[in-house]
């Protein structure tokens, strides 16, 4: 690893190895479909972490704009923000961003 290599670079290399090298070997040797599923699940988890890492600053900014996590949930449940259009927009943006991390293309 060089100073220019980031954690994201390493995750990408692992994900590519799992998908392009290990997965096909498991399919050819067919030890079990369970083993191939686990490799693909690991690769999917790595891709999700990579997307979340790339968007971490944007997620933090949206959380701050929505008032943080503190008592916000309780206040919303109590109806204290029912007419707060700015909060609604920030929460919607947060939900869309988080969905783009876990299910890209779903938004």
The one-digit pLDDT tens for each residue of the chain (107 residues) are 566 777 778 888 888 888 888 877 776 666 667 777 778 888 888 888 888 888 888 777 767 766 666 677 777 888 888 998 888 888 888 788 888 877 887 76
How does DSSP classify residue 21? I
Task: Identify the burial level of 106 via C-beta atoms within 10 angstroms of its C-beta, where 0-12 means exposed, 13-18 middle and 19 or more buried.
Answer: exposed
Say yes or no: 61 and 50 in one domain: no
Backbone phi, psi, residue 8, to 5° = -65, -35
**pTM value surpassing 0.85:** no
Say yes or no: 71 and 44 in one domain: no
Range of the domain at 96: 56-107
Say yes or no: 41 and 82 in one domain: no
For the chain, the C-alpha Rg in angstroms (whole number) is 19
Name the domain count of the chain.
2
């Amino acid at each position: 690893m060089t100073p220019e290599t980031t954690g994201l670079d390493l995750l990408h290399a692992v994900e590519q190895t799992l998908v392009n090298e290990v997965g096909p070997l498991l399919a050819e040797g067919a030890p079990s479909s369970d083993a191939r599923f686990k490799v693909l699940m690991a690769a999917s988890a790595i891709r999700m972490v990579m997307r979340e890492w790339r968007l971490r600053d944007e997620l933090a900014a949206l959380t701050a704009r929505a008032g943080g996590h503190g008592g916000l949930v309780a206040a919303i449940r109590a109806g204290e923000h029912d007419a707060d259009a700015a909060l609604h927009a920030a929460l919607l943006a947060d939900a869309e961003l988080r969905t783009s991390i876990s299910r890209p293309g779903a938004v």
